[in-house]
Amino acid sequence: MDSIVVTGNGPLSGDIPIAGAKNACLTLMPATLLSEEPLTLMNAPRLSDIRTMTTLLQSLGTEVTALQDGHVLALSSHAIDNHCADYDIVRKMRASILVLGPMLARDGHAVVSLPGGCAIGARPVDLHLRALEAMGAELDLRDGYVHAKAPGGLKGGVVDFPLVSVGATENALMAATLAKGTTVIKNAAREPEIVDLAECLRRMGAQIEGDGTHEITVQGVDRLGGATHRVVTDRIELGTYMLAPAICGGEVTCLGGEKRLVSAFVDKLEQAGIDVTETERGLTVSRRNGRVSAVDVTTEPFPGFPTDLQAQMMALLCTAEGTSVLEEKIFENRFMHAPELMRMGAKIEVNGGTARVTGVDSLKGAPVMATDLRASVSLILAGLAAEGQTTVNRVYHLDRGYEHVVAKLSGVGAKIERIKEA
Please tell me which residue in 84, 118, 200, 318 is annotated as part of the active site.
118
Task: Give the chain's largest Cα–Cα span.
Answer: 66
Q: Does 330 show up as a binding residue in the annotation?
A: yes
Collapsing DSSP to helix, strand or coil, 253 comes out as strand
Bridge partner list, 414: none
Q: Which of 139, 138, 189 is nearest to 164 (CA)?
A: 189
Q: Does 211 show up as a binding residue in the annotation?
A: no
Q: Does 400 show up as a binding residue in the annotation?
A: no
In this predicted structure, what is the pLDDT of residue 122?
Answer: 46
206 and 179 Cβ atoms separated by less than 8 Å = no
In this predicted structure, what is the pLDDT of residue 378?
Answer: 96
Bridge partner list, 353: none
Q: What is the 3-state secondary structure (H, E, C) of 280-345?
A: CCEEEEEECCCCCECCCEEECCCCCECHHHHHHHHHHHCCCECEEEEECCCCCCCCCCHHHHHHCC
Q: Are strands 207-209 and 227-230 parallel, antiparallel or unpaired?
A: unpaired
Q: Which residues contact 99 (CB under 8 A, 6 or more apart)?
A: 30, 33, 56, 57, 60, 85, 110, 112
In this predicted structure, what is the pLDDT of residue 277?
Answer: 98
Find the helix or strand (DSSP H, E) in which 138 lies: strand 138-142
Q: Does 334 show up as a binding residue in the annotation?
A: no
Q: What pTM, to 2 d.p., does this model score? A: 0.91
How distant is the alpha carbon of residue 50 from its chain centre?
Answer: 12
Q: Does 267 show up as a binding residue in the annotation?
A: no
Q: Does 140 show up as a binding residue in the annotation?
A: no
Please report the sign of the dihedral spanned by the C-alpha atoms of residue 79, residue 83, residue 86, residue 87: positive
Q: Which of 192, 84, 172 is nearest to 127 (CA)?
A: 172
Q: Known catalytic residue: 25?
A: no
Question: Alpha-carbon distance 102 to 107, whole Å?
Answer: 8
Q: Does 127 show up as a binding residue in the annotation?
A: yes
Kindly list the structural domains of the chain, giving each domain's residue range(s) and its CATH number in brackets, ordered by start.
3-19+233-419 (3.65.10.10), 22-230 (3.65.10.10)
164 and 301 Cβ atoms separated by less than 8 Å = yes
Q: Does 162 show up as a binding residue in the annotation?
A: no
Low-confidence stretches of the chain (pLDDT beneath 50) = 117-123
Q: Does 125 show up as a binding residue in the annotation?
A: yes
